[in-house]
């Protein structure tokens, strides 16, 4: 994959809407809870002490923990998430639905 640099002129930046972020707290149940704390301890032990850029790490394990079933919409057993009409949220929801449909099949 090649590197892509996106430059925006100051005039363009002034016309952009303000960035809005929503923090959503969820309760993690077993077996994800144990896995989450194990990964957190491993990450903290290794990268909490070694803050060098020379240390490489694979974020895929942490990304897998972000695919928790509680992130699915309210009608599917999850929570009613504020900001769920945000384009990033809709993409995440579509990917999650696809993943869970494949895993159930």
Instruction: Give the separation between CA 45 and CA 43, rounded to whole angstroms.
Output: 6
Q: What is the pLDDT of residue 88?
A: 76
pLDDT tens per residue, range 36-80: 788 778 777 776 665 555 556 666 766 666 665 555 555 455 556
Task: Provide the residue ranges of all domains of the chain, joining segments of one domain with +.
Answer: 70-105
With a CB cutoff of 8 Å and minimum separation 6, the contacts of 22 are 81, 82, 83, 86
Q: Which two tokens stand for residue 73?
A: 């919409």
């Amino acid at each position: 994959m090649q590197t892509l640099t996106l430059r925006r002129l100051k005039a363009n930046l002034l016309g952009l809407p303000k960035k809005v972020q929503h923090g959503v707290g969820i309760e993690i149940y077993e077996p994800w809870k144990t896995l989450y704390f194990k990964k957190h301890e491993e990450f903290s032990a290794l990268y909490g002490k070694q803050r060098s850029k020379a240390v490489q790490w694979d974020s895929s394990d942490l990304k897998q923990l972000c695919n928790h079933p509680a992130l699915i919409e309210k009608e599917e057993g999850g929570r009613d998430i504020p900001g769920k009409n945000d384009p990033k949220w809709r993409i995440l929801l579509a990917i999650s639905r696809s993943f869970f449909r494949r895993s159930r099949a």
